[in-house]
């Protein structure tokens, strides 16, 4: 009788595969309240690496970290009508505290534009205070109707940036800089996801924004996942909160603003972009553990070689961990590390040690080979970079192979139903065609220029809509 697979095969049931992997790779568990999650240490380690990489890029773009309260007075949200209308179905509202009904209900933070603007209006007085570039790492709450771990949870972790500028052009350029130098750089060069950059259609735009820039990745089942957004807010919030500055010419002027964010949804995107039927495959530049050195047996000589090899790899700049758990069968330990997607396993047993070698197992391309122990520190960094490039190439090849050029709404819907994306001229689709696609659960994921760049406006000549089904 054939042995049952560790995970449900992707081609049999992709959502079940996703849930199986999250559990068996020890990434997360469902929380006690519907739609919440508990991130387990390995899942949090993945997020922590993303956070570190994002934080460095955000600071390089000039923003500084701050923190704003979790509770927001309900009256703040009511000041920007379009914004509150967009978030109204998802709000969690506190009406009682300390055993008493509150005089004014408070909203548990769904996003921070309103409370940030309350303080920007205090802090900004003259043009010398601009630009004001703030980021915060926080949790937010949005009451999801169809939760899924990492992808859509009632509470999730993220960063949200908020900036104020003296001109429209400066705000526009900064939003584009975050889009390109922070999010696109992270997703392509660290997470190895070949995202498509562009604009959201007016119907998909962030509530209260005049433009939303997005990054869309194709998952292994052909669906799209939005992995980060950067918004031009114009002067909508500045008007609502009277956020003005004294210009160099002596006149009072409203600021121009941006906001931008990326969340733990990226962990879900990582899983669905690179995972296979054996588990995760973590890009080496992201991996909390790039190599694990396993003792096949627990004798003293093997354990000493395991520790020495790990120390030499650390000196070579490899993030490494040892597995000396001889009381657990070796095969089970190997499967556990395979599920977690650690890029390289270095397996050392008595026979390997006698030959002065180790068995090198590469998770991303697969396969194993004997390697001299002395050669490991010089060999591994290059192999890790090869595997990083391989994942990005696979991501790009999958998207290109499953994207179809079409000219009608019907063809676009067929391409999405077949498990891929369609590219259709926006002039042929338009808002009416977008509404027709929505009836089949197909959405416009991103608007791009004909050459694949970000269009200067929604209706720029040659603009193409990329459509598909999405998470």
pLDDT tens, position by position, for the chain (471 residues)? 567 789 999 999 999 999 999 999 999 999 999 999 999 999 999 999 999 999 999 999 999 999 999 999 999 988 877 777 777 788 999 999 999 999 999 999 999 999 999 999 999 999 999 999 999 999 999 998 899 999 999 999 999 999 999 999 999 999 999 999 999 999 999 999 999 999 999 999 998 899 999 999 999 999 999 999 999 999 999 999 999 999 999 999 999 999 999 999 999 999 999 999 999 999 999 999 999 999 999 999 999 999 999 999 999 999 999 999 999 999 999 999 999 999 999 999 999 999 999 999 999 999 999 999 999 999 999 999 999 999 999 999 999 999 999 999 999 999 999 999 999 999 999 999 999 999 999 999 999 998 989 999 988 999 999 999 999
DSSP 215: E
List Cα–Cα distances, 328 to 40, 131, 335, in angstroms.
21, 57, 12
- Assigned token pair, 381: 């960094």
In 3D space, the residue among 272, 323, 365, 218 whose CA is nearest the CA of residue 20 turns out to be 272
Q: Which position has the token pair 């119907």?
A: 203
Please give the Cα distance from 296 to 432 (Å, whole number). Answer: 63
pLDDT score for 469: 98
List Cα–Cα distances, 354 to 7, 301, 302, 385, in angstroms.
36, 10, 10, 30
Helix residue spans in 255-375 (DSSP H): 265-274, 300-315, 330-340, 350-355
List Cα–Cα distances, 281 to 194, 272, 333, 343, in angstroms.
15, 10, 16, 7
Q: What are the b/e assignments for 357-386, b being 16+ CB within 10 Å?
A: bbbbbbbbeeeeeebebeebbeebeebbee
Residues in the chain: 471
Is the torsion defined by CA of 192, 48, 382, 343 positive or negative? negative
Torsion angle of C-alpha atoms 305, 308, 314, 316, degrees rounded to 10: -90
Please give the Cα distance from 427 to 465 (Å, whole number). Answer: 9
- Assigned token pair, 435: 């509404």
Strand ranges of the sheet holding 320-323, from the earlier edge strand across to the other edge: 320-323, 291-295, 344-348, 357-362, 368-372
pLDDT score for 89: 83
pLDDT score for 288: 98
Whether residue 447 contacts residue 426, with contact meaning beta carbons closer than 8 Å, is answered with yes
DSSP 148: B
Please give the Cα distance from 170 to 167 (Å, whole number). Answer: 5
Q: Which residues contact 18 (CB under 8 A, 6 or more apart)?
A: 148, 268, 271, 272, 275
Torsion angle of C-alpha atoms 10, 13, 18, 22, degrees rounded to 10: -100
CA 234, distance to chain mean position in Å, is 25
pLDDT score for 458: 87
Please give the Cα distance from 386 to 284 (Å, whole number). Answer: 9
User: For residue 131, is the peptide bond before it cis, meaning its omega torsion is within 30 degrees of 0?
Assistant: yes
In 3D space, the residue among 62, 29, 186 whose CA is nearest the CA of residue 134 turns out to be 62
Q: Which residues contact 361 (CB under 8 A, 6 or more apart)?
A: 334, 344, 345, 346, 347, 367, 368
What is the model's pTM? 0.95
Please give the Cα distance from 422 to 442 (Å, whole number). Answer: 10
DSSP 279: B
pLDDT score for 113: 94
Please give the Cα distance from 66 to 284 (Å, whole number). Answer: 30
Whether residue 195 contacts residue 215, with contact meaning beta carbons closer than 8 Å, is answered with yes
pLDDT score for 1: 53
Half-sphere exposure of 396 (CA within 13 A, CB side): 11
């Amino acid at each position: 009788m054939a042995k049952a697979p560790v995970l449900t095969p992707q081609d049999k049931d992709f959502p079940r595969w996703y849930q199986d992997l999250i559990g068996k790779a020890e990434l997360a568990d469902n929380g006690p309240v519907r739609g919440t999650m508990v991130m387990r240490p390995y899942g949090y380690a993945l997020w922590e690496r993303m956070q570190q990489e994002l934080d460095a890029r955000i600071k390089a773009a000039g923003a500084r970290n701050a923190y704003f309260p979790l509770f927001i007075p309900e009256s703040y949200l009511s000041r920007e009508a379009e914004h509150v209308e967009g978030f109204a179905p998802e709000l969690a509202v506190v009406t009682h505290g300390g055993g008493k009904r509150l005089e004014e209900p408070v909203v548990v933070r769904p996003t921070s534009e309103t409370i940030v603007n309350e303080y920007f209006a205090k802090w900004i007085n003259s043009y010398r205070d601009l630009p004001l570039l703030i980021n915060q790492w926080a949790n937010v709450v949005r009451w999801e109707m169809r939760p899924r771990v990492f992808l859509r949870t009632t509470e999730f972790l993220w960063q949200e940036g908020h900036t104020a500028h003296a001109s429209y052009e400066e705000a526009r350029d900064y939003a584009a800089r975050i889009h390109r130098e922070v999010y696109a750089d992270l997703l392509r060069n660290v997470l190895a996801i070949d995202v498509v950059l562009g604009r959201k259609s007016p119907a998909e735009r962030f509530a209260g924004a005049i433009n939303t820039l997005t990054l869309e990745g194709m998952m292994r089942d052909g669906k799209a996942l939005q992995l980060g957004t950067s918004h031009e807010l114009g002067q909508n919030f500045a008007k609502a909160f009277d956020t003005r500055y004294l210009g160099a010419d002596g006149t009072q002027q409203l600021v121009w603003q941006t906001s931008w964010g990326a969340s733990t949804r990226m962990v879900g995107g990582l899983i669905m972009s690179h995972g296979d039927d054996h588990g995760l495959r973590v890009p080496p530049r992201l991996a909390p553990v790039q190599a694990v050195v396993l003792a096949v047996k627990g004798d003293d000589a093997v354990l000493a070689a395991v520790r020495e090899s790990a120390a030499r790899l650390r000196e070579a700049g490899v993030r490494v961990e040892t597995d000396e758990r001889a009381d657990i069968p070796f095969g089970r330990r190997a499967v556990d590390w395979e599920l977690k997607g650690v890029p390289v396993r270095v397996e050392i047993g008595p026979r390997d040690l006698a030959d002065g070698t180790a068995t090198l197992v590469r998770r991303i391309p697969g396969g194993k080979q004997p390697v001299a122990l002395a050669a490991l520190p010089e060999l591994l960094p290059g192999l890790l970079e090869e595997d990083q490039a391989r994942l990005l190439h696979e991501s790009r090849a999958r998207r290109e192979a499953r994207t179809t050029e079409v000219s009608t709404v019907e063809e676009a819907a067929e391409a999405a139903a077949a498990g891929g994306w369609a590219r259709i001229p926006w002039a042929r689709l338009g808002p009416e065609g977008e509404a027709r696609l929505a009836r089949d659960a197909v959405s416009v994921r991103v608007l791009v220029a004909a050459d694949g760049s970000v269009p200067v406006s929604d209706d720029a000549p040659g603009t193409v809509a990329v459509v598909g089904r999405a998470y």
